[in-house]
Amino acid sequence: MSARLLPALCSLALAASACAVAPAHPAASRPRVVEVVASISAWGSILAQLGGVHVHETAIITNPNADPHDYEPTPADGRTIAAARLLVVNGIGYDGWASKAAAANPDSGRRVIDVGEVVHVPTGGNPHRWYSPADVTTVADAITAALQQVDPADAPYFAARRTAFETQTLAPYHRLIGAIKAAYGGTPIGASESIVAPLAAALGLDLLTPPSFLRAISEGAEPSAADKSVIDRQIATGRIKVYVVNVQNSTPDVTAQVRAARARGIPVVSVTETLTPSTATFQDWQVAQLSALQAALRQATGR
């Protein structure tokens, strides 16, 4: 090899080596990522979608078999919450363990959104606010505002995500809600527990199940014999057109009502407290349940 070529070849080799170890993208081009946590998967999905590439989202409860009321956080859960810059808890007595975990790891830089406080539902009220379309909108706004506070440099990005979420991502969800209300508003239905109440109100459906029964089942209490008798009559006479059951909270009384409804020819629709499947988005989960309810109402009314 010519001695004159050696310096040039060495220079090329060194350049190639430098290129091989250089990062494909400089660190400055990587997006800022904020640690965000939600106590339950319903709010977690919304939080992740609103945050986009600028958040790393963790939902504590994603298992459909876990009861948020009685959940015992693990040490790993405590560490996850401690590291969060933004924490979304449901409140209203639903997930008190999450607020306690945050209080055990105080951080003046952490923002905490308590859904109950945001939508003005106190402890003792119906905690299932992700089944209220109006509350979903209010909480999404609160999440966006909080993201802009913990990461102000990316505030325009979060604002754009919020607009797209409302006008595009949730469009099928909002269309179904409007269509069901327009076609079936006033239709009498029954339910196994209070999780259905916010959605029934939004859809204009007439939820005839005694509120005291709905609350008792939701809170794991024994419903009264009088309430059970009322529901038995509603089913036996066909007074209700559809029965909605939370399949994650079934009791012998609920099982008997589901059996009686099916025997009477009353369509039964299932709903859940957590995303089902656990990999679903909030909107896909809700649209699937709304579509099933719409089909049941169509079957029951012939409209």
Range of the domain at 254: 173-301
Q: Is 272 exposed, middle or buried (0-12, 13-18, 19+ CB in 10 A)?
A: middle
Query: In Å, what is the CA distance from 62 to each residue of 1, 50, 269?
Result: 66, 19, 22
Q: Quick one: 238 and 158 in the same domain?
A: no
Same domain flag for 220 and 271: yes
Residue 126 is classified by DSSP as -
Question: Do 80 and 39 meet the contact criterion of CB atoms below 8 Å apart?
Answer: no
Instruction: Please check whether residues 198 and 235 belong to one and the same domain.
Output: yes
Phi-psi map region of 173: left, alpha, beta (phi>0 left; psi -120 to 50 alpha): alpha
pLDDT, mean of residues 45-54: 98
Per-residue pLDDT for 3 more than 80?
no
Predicted confidence band at 29 (pLDDT cuts at 50, 70, 90)?
Answer: low
Q: For residue range 190-210, list pLDDT tens digits in order.
A: 999 999 999 999 999 999 999
Confidence of residue 21 (pLDDT cuts 50, 70, 90): very low
Contact 181, 203 (CB under 8 A): yes
Instruction: Verify that 177 and 137 share a domain, yes or no.
Output: no
Query: What is the mean pLDDT of the segment spanning 5-30?
Result: 44
- Are 263 and 153 in contact, with CB atoms under 8 Å apart? no
- pLDDT given at position 193: 96
Looking at the structure, do residues 134 and 193 belong to the same domain, yes or no? no
- The whole-number average pLDDT for the span 237-255 is 96
Q: Looking at the structure, do residues 80 and 162 belong to the same domain, yes or no?
A: yes
Is residue 198 a part of any domain in this protein?
yes
287 within some domain: yes
10-15 average pLDDT score: 41
Is pLDDT above 60 for 2? no
What pLDDT does 30 receive? 75
Find the CATH number of the domain harbouring 214.
3.40.50.1980
Are 179 and 289 members of one domain? yes
Burial tier of 19 (Cβ tally within 10 Å: 0-12, 13-18, 19+): exposed
Same domain, 59 and 81: yes
Question: Going by C-beta distance under 8 Å and a sequence separation of 6 or more, which residues neighbour residue 200?
Answer: 189, 191, 206, 207, 244
| pLDDT, tens digit, 9 for 90 and up, residues 266-276 | 999 999 999 99
Query: What are 73-95's pLDDT values in tens digits?
Result: 899 999 999 999 999 999 999 99
Are residues 178 and 282 located together in one domain of the fold? yes
Q: Please count the structural domains in the chain.
A: 2
User: How many Å apart are CA 8 and CA 13, to the nearest integer?
Assistant: 9
Q: How far apart are the first and last CA of the chain?
A: 88
Predicted TM-score (pTM) of the model is 0.88
220 belongs to a structural domain: yes
In-domain check, residue 25: no
pLDDT digits (tens, 9 = 90+) for 252-295: 999 999 999 999 999 999 999 999 998 999 999 999 999 999 99
Lowest mean pLDDT among 3-12, 66-75, 129-138: 3-12
Judged by DSSP in three states, 40 sits in strand
Q: Is 70 in the same domain as 37?
A: yes
Average pLDDT, the chain: 91
pLDDT over 60 (residue 1): no
Query: What local confidence, expressed as pLDDT, does residue 67 receive?
Result: 72
User: Residue 22's pLDDT band (boundaries 50, 70, 90)?
Assistant: very low
Helix axes 211-219, 225-236, angle to 10 degrees: 120
Do 204 and 122 share a structural domain?
no
**Residue 16 domain-assigned (yes or no):** no
d(CA 223, CA 227): 7
Read off φ and ψ for residue 113, nearest 5 degrees: -105, 120
For residue 240, the model assigns a pLDDT of 98
